[in-house]
Amino acid sequence: MANCLTLKKSNCKNCYKCIRNCPVKAIRFSGNQAHIIGNECILCGHCFVVCPQNAKEIVDSTEKARVLLQSGAPVIVSLAPSFIANYHGVGIASMRRALGKLGFADVEETAIGATIVKNEYERMLREEQRDVIITSCCHSVNLLIQKYFPSCLEYLADVMSPMLAHCADIKKRNPAAKTVFIGPCVAKKDEAEYYEGLVDAVLTFEELTNWLKAERIELDKELDNTPESRARFFPTTGGILKTMAQNAPGYTYMALDGVENCIAALKDIESGKIHKCFIEMSACVGSCIGGPVMEKYHSTSPIQDYIKIAGYAGEHDFEVDQPSPMSLKKNFTLIEHRLAQPSESEIMAVLRQMNKFKPSDELNCGSCGYSSCREKAIAIIQGKAEISMCLPFLKDKAESFSDAIVNNTPNGLIVLNENLEVQQINTAARKIMNIRASGDVLGEPVVRILDPTVFLQVKNSGRTVRNQRTYLAEYKRYVEQTVIYAPDSRILIGIMRDVTDEEADHEKKTRINKQTLEVADSVVEKQMRIVQEIASLLGETAAETKIALTKLKESIEDE
């Protein structure tokens, strides 16, 4: 399979959106990067459309088309009928003039090839005794059947797609010509390379638009009226059926779009529940006008796009030189891709690594991209996924780590929202405030358990309060508190260190010092009286003795 979709690794942010939207899970993650699995991909382009970082890229074939133009051979464009929805108000004549300025010899509508294919479908229904017939216009549907529903290959119409049929018709009429298909589809690039010799290059509408802009070529707003153009309906859901007679006896005609709906129908066909049906299948919702390139860059709605198609399509078929059925044959073969299915014990071992020990642990939330934890476990064993892709697993792991830190720190922690309501409280904080269980205060205003003044101050000022010693009178505890405001998270975090014992020790020491001072003061006073009495008897001054005793008293006070 051609490598039409590539990954820009620097852009991949490991968001898993591509795997969540990939209908066949053809994406693996390794080293925190998404990788497209080529032999499993059906090139529906969903990953390209949904990637928010533009990490998925469609391989640009503009240079390849330029080389064809420089070859000297006439290069004729097969233009997909969805162009009228992509380039509103621009008809085929206007497109022919604009592409002529780029150097193309001519521009024809792929709808001509669609008419050829439609005629062959009608012949098959009339002349061949087939049970179920699935249209082969959509290469992504063909790949889906070839890779995932090989038992349905016998029901896939062995007929060229309109692109191949038209390019074959161009080369039949112009043997020296080279052909370039332009449309809204990624898969057509692969189809052109796989079925060599008919389509020499494939461009998307985006590539054409960029090329026209680079050459400063404007598209004229001009529509033509071509009654013989009913096949222009082909790029819409049910568009193939709309061009057909639908009169084969005993057949039911139906149209399906979207890979999920196609998969559901193919499962029913596999199980033998569907018979005598002609089924139009399109991988894109809305068919080709919902193609990945249009969907990525096109701003209008599916209804408006359908109205544009319907307004441009005629009531009659294009006049075509219908080839023989044999020349329109296209053989489809099985494309092997299946990885070995792991054993039950291997699956259970991986589930246990993801902390899934019983069925109730398997949330099947789909955040990893897989519809069930079991599918995810199988993908891990097959090397397509990593355990870290499980959001609940990571959440539980982070919370477990966080809770281990919060609940084992000796400091009290309390977290409030901006409404000063308790969001989290740890064991140490509950012990400080004599709270039996977290549930008693979670979601409640903090004023129920603490004076909110400091929290209000920090919230309003944005300035952190650090190591503020406070007495919690209600709890008879001294704490050293720090309050932090996190504006990004819109939370206030209070950290309390219980210093009640330190405060008690300080008070005890202060009390002892006071008592010592009182005793020393009493002793000094007594000594002074005795000295004065002795001095008066001896007739000597007591000044020197008084100074010495006063210094002793001061030294005791300092302590």
Task: Look up the CATH number of the domain holding residue 479.
Answer: 3.30.450.20
* Domain count within the chain: 5
CA–CA dist 221, 94 (Å, integer): 7
The answer to whether residues 313 and 448 belong to one domain is no
Residue 91 carries which side chain, given as an amino acid letter?
G
- Note whether residue 508 is domain-resident: no
Say which CATH number the domain at 367 has.
Answer: 1.10.15
Q: Which residues pair with 56 in a beta bridge?
A: 7
Contact by Cβ (8 Å): 68, 180: yes
Tokens matching residue 242: 């709309």
CA 457 to chain centre: 41
CA–CA dist 115, 177 (Å, integer): 21
Sign of torsion, CA 437 443 448 449?
Answer: positive
The answer to whether residues 360 and 282 belong to one domain is no
Residue, of 405 and 300, whose pLDDT is higher: 405
Q: Report whether pLDDT(106) > 70.
A: yes
The answer to whether residues 86 and 231 belong to one domain is yes
Residues 211-215, mean pLDDT to the nearest whole number: 96
CA–CA dist 529, 515 (Å, integer): 21
CA–CA dist 207, 85 (Å, integer): 16
Q: Report whether pLDDT(251) > 70.
A: yes
CA–CA dist 479, 451 (Å, integer): 13
Residue-wise pLDDT tens digits, 406-430: 777 889 999 999 999 999 899 999 9
Using CA atoms, how far residue 463 sits from 35, 452, 484, in Å, is 47, 15, 8
The domain boundary, picked from 288, 308, 328, lies at: 328
The answer to whether residues 399 and 415 belong to one domain is no
Q: Report whether pLDDT(72) > 90.
A: yes
Residue 302's pLDDT is 83
- Note whether residue 12 is domain-resident: yes
- Note whether residue 334 is domain-resident: no
3-state secondary structure 396-446: HHHHHHHHHHHHHCCCEEEEEECCCEEEEECHHHHHHCCCCCHHHCCCCEH
- What residue numbers bound the domain in which 71 lies? 60-328
- Note whether residue 509 is domain-resident: no
Residue-wise pLDDT tens digits, 80-92: 999 999 998 999 9
Tokens matching residue 188: 């057509």
What is the arrangement of strands in the sheet containing 132-134, beginning at the earlier edge strand? 132-134, 277-282, 252-257
Residue-wise pLDDT tens digits, 309-344: 999 999 999 999 999 999 999 999 999 876 778 888
Residue 539's pLDDT is 54
- Note whether residue 349 is domain-resident: yes
Residue 542's pLDDT is 53
Using CA atoms, how far residue 219 sits from 82, 94, 185, 339, 503, in Å, is 16, 6, 21, 49, 85
CA–CA dist 260, 553 (Å, integer): 95
The answer to whether residues 290 and 142 belong to one domain is yes
Q: Report whether pLDDT(531) > 80.
A: no
3-state secondary structure 267-325: HHHHCCCCCCEEEEEECCCCHHHHCHHHHHHCCCCHHHHHHHHHHHCCCCCCCCCCCCH
pLDDT band at 219 (very low <50, low <70, confident <90, very high): very high
The answer to whether residues 169 and 214 belong to one domain is yes
Q: Report whether pLDDT(244) > 70.
A: yes
The answer to whether residues 292 and 365 belong to one domain is no
Tokens matching residue 66: 């330029």
The answer to whether residues 44 and 70 belong to one domain is no
Q: Report whether pLDDT(503) > 80.
A: no
The domain boundary, picked from 273, 304, 328, lies at: 328
Residue 157 carries which side chain, given as an amino acid letter?
A
The answer to whether residues 247 and 201 belong to one domain is yes
The answer to whether residues 487 and 524 belong to one domain is no
Task: Summarize the chain as % helix, strand, coil (round to 5).
Answer: 45, 15, 35
Say which CATH number the domain at 12 has.
Answer: 3.30.70.20
The domain boundary, picked from 12, 32, 59, lies at: 59
Residue, of 136 and 376, whose pLDDT is higher: 136
CB atoms within 10 A of CB 217: 14
The answer to whether residues 123 and 142 belong to one domain is yes
- Note whether residue 505 is domain-resident: no
The answer to whether residues 352 and 420 belong to one domain is no
Reduce the DSSP state of residue 557 to 3 states and report it.
helix
CA–CA dist 438, 157 (Å, integer): 66
Residues 477-495, mean pLDDT to the nearest whole number: 92
Q: Report whether pLDDT(295) > 70.
A: no
Reduce the DSSP state of residue 360 to 3 states and report it.
helix
Q: Report whether pLDDT(299) > 60.
A: no
